[in-house]
Amino acid sequence: MEIKLKLNGRSITASVEADTVLLDFLRQKGCLSVKRGCDTSNCGLCTVLMDGRPILSCSTLAVRANGHEICTLEGLQEEAADFVGFIADQGADQCGFCNPGLVMNTIALLREDPDPTDDKIRAYLAGNLCRCSGYDGQLRGIRNYLDSRKA
């Protein structure tokens, strides 16, 4: 099947098998920030933005992206750069494996609500599995980032 989409701002046309998941398609296109963690839609490591909304690419067929805009962390480096330092300062990126999903979900959250409550932050990050940090450092990092933007 032929699909046409915008990937990180670039229009592309590609041929895919009907059963190709978006995660595999994106990795084939060089988007290595999109990670395979569980293959069951439970960890959030494969999160990408489709038309600005976070989706799990491990459970989305590539053909579903036809006609849509897909953004991965590779396409959001500038937007993510400031925020990532705040997460690191809180020790919330111990192994770093969950960071791409965390960053993608945080970007989506802040686009939707530039000043979210802690409960909203927790709700947005609920599907992002982190085995190292316990999530408190991530929440502190996000909160510190938001506070720095107000100053």
**Residue with more model confidence, 25 or 135:** 25
How wide is the angle at C-alpha 107 spanned by C-alphas 105 and 112, nearest 5°?
A: 95
DSSP character for 72?
Answer: -
- Taking the C-alpha atoms of residue 149 and residue 114, their distance in angstroms, rounded to an integer, is 10
Q: State the pLDDT at residue 132.
A: 76
Query: CA 112 → CA 46, 109, 119, distances in Å?
Result: 20, 5, 15
Amino acid sitting at position 84: V
Q: What DSSP designation does 105 have?
A: H
CA distance 46 to 31: 11
pLDDT at 50: 98
Helix locations, 45-132, DSSP H: 77-89, 99-112, 118-125
Indicate whether 126 pLDDT > 90. Answer: no
Structural domains of the chain, with CATH:
2-74 (3.10.20.30), 76-150 (1.10.150.120)
Q: In Å, how far are 44, 54, 76, 114, 127 from 7, measured between CA atoms?
A: 19, 14, 11, 25, 24
Q: How far is it, in rounded angstroms, from Cα 115 to Cα 91?
A: 23
pLDDT digit string (tens) for 46-101?
Answer: 999 999 999 999 999 999 999 999 999 999 998 888 788 877 777 767 777 888 88
Sign, CA dihedral 13-18-23-27, equals negative
